[in-house]
Structure 1
Amino acid sequence: MLAIFEYNAGNQTSVKRALDHLGIENEITNDPERLDKADGIIFPGVGAAGQAMDELLSGGKDEILKSLIWQEKPMLGICVGCQILLDYSEENDTKALAVIPGECRLFNPSWEDYEGDPIRVPHMGWNTIELQQECELFAGIDPEANFYFVHSYFPAPKQEFVIGVTRYGRDFCSVHGRAGLWAVQFHPEKSGRPGLKMLKNFHKYCLEAADAE
């Protein structure tokens, strides 16, 4: 079973629909017992970093989440859930979870696209990922596959945690983390077949990790 972490600041229902479509058992919860029994956790997010952290700090949900990470429970952060795994976000001047070293920065509207025009902020639409290191999430996915983005801020983790980059004005980190703790700036649940394949790959990793215990 995959648990979708509930903290009133995520796109939990769209993630659940994608998992239901794939036939993957799942539930939306922040109950520590249910989370502990899950094979893996999906940590989604939409909206602003400050609001998301306020929700996490309410009732100690931040500590629940970090405890799962320290226990090496497999986890996939999505969008704002990707950003606030870092130390800090420029959005709302937010102190974040500090699980992955780095910060989240605002796109510079003076950056130029391929045609020499200033980029639009937010970055909204389809774009590709260029892997900087191998990652189980991308197994069997076409390197030219497009994923759906919608964000004004981008993650800038310590270089060793950069897994994939995307070009928008210049290269920015769009996938970061380490084996078993991944974070993606795009929305796999809204990215068609490549995104569904990524969710299947995450589930497969979770099951294999559980069997290895």
Structure 2
Amino acid sequence: MTTVAIIDYGMGNLRSVAKAIEHVAPGHEVFITSDPARVAAAERVVFPGQGAMPDCMRELDARGLRPAVLDAAASKPFLGICIGQQMLFEHSAEGDVSCLAILAGEVLRFPDAQMRAADGSHLKVPHMGWNEVWQGGAHPLWDGIADGERFYFVHSYFVAPADDSLSAAKTDYGVRFTSAVARANIFAVQFHPEKSAAAGLRLLANFIRWQP
């Protein structure tokens, strides 16, 4: 039985993430926790979240969870979701705040004035809804998921890795941005797999089986 900790730092409703993982991981222990000791003891860690970056970083530190996140990202299968992906980078333009600096790069806002579709129409920010995810290459978490599969997004900011080799997938929305990153035991996505129907569930099931 695998133990899967979903880190709770007070930002976002985590029940949908937990329910989706429980659905694909019957017989495994899936729990939401703000206890650093339980995060440290878990075999796999999921780091989701939603909200403004300054609030997320403040709440993470207020709960004493930063060391647990850093340790988990260095040592075990680790899945970041939405702002949980963005927090892994060095700096965010949202609030001009420093992040966890686990991965090199920054978090940028979509350039509102330049957001145009192929037909010239204006694209709204936030980027909200279903969009195609184009894989950067083979990865165990893409197993059984077609290249160009659609996932569900809700965000106004996106990650810009310093090294493009970190990019595990890209998506087009006015600009082409990195929608998934991968390095060693870390995989993180901008989209919400728990809201992305069969493809999202497949990605979560792949994470449960993943042996980096």
TM-score normalised over the length of structure 2: 0.92
Partner of 1:176: 181
Q: Which runs of 5+ in 2 are unaligned?
A: none
Residue 55 (1) aligns with residue 69 (2): no
CA RMSD in angstroms, aligned pairs only: 1.3
Deviation at residue 4 of structure 1 after TM alignment: 0.2
CA distance in structure 1 between the aligned counterparts of 2:68 and 2:182, rounded to whole angstroms = 19
Residue 113 (1) aligns with residue 117 (2): yes
Deviation at residue 177 of structure 1 after TM alignment: 2.7
Q: 2:153 aligns with which of 149, 163, 170?
A: 149
CA distance in structure 2 between the aligned counterparts of 1:59 and 1:204, rounded to whole angstroms = 30
Q: Which runs of 5+ in 1 are unaligned?
A: none
Q: Which string of whole-angstrom CA distances, capped at 9 and with x for unpartnered residues, describes residues 5-39 of structure 1? A: 11101331110111222224300013233223322
Structure with bigger helix share is 1
CA distance in structure 1 between the aligned counterparts of 2:52 and 2:161, rounded to whole angstroms = 19
Partner of 1:7: 9
Q: Is the 8 A contact 2:39 2:68 kept in 1?
A: no
CA distance in structure 2 between the aligned counterparts of 1:64 and 1:73, rounded to whole angstroms = 11
CA distance in structure 1 between the aligned counterparts of 2:208 and 2:171, rounded to whole angstroms = 24
| 1:92 counterpart SS class | coil
Aligned pair count reads 206
Q: Structure 2 counterpart of 1:120, which letter?
A: K
Q: Is the 8 A contact 2:40 2:68 kept in 1?
A: no
Q: Is the 8 A contact 1:19 1:25 kept in 2?
A: no
The farther-off stretch of 150-159 and 132-141 is 132-141
Q: Structure 1 counterpart of 2:141, which letter?
A: L
Q: 2:196 aligns with which of 183, 191, 197?
A: 191
Q: Structure 2 counterpart of 1:115, which letter?
A: D
Residue 21 (1) aligns with residue 23 (2): yes
Deviation at residue 41 of structure 1 after TM alignment: 0.3
Partner of 1:88: 91
Q: 1:127 aligns with which of 123, 126, 131?
A: 131
Q: Which string of whole-angstrom CA distances, capped at 9 and with x for unpartnered residues, describes residues 74-94 of structure 1? A: 110000101111001101111
Deviation at residue 190 of structure 1 after TM alignment: 0.4
Q: Which string of whole-angstrom CA distances, capped at 9 and with x for unpartnered residues, describes residues 86-117 of structure 1? A: 00110111110000000000001222112111
Call closer, same or farther: CA 1:133–1:142 in 2, change over 3 Å.
closer
CA distance in structure 1 between the aligned counterparts of 2:64 and 2:22, rounded to whole angstroms = 29
Q: Which runs of 4+ in 1 moved over 3 A?
A: none
CA distance in structure 2 between the aligned counterparts of 1:76 and 1:132, rounded to whole angstroms = 17
* Percent identity of equivalent pairs: 41
Q: Is the 8 A contact 2:36 2:65 kept in 1?
A: no
TM-score normalised over the length of structure 1: 0.92
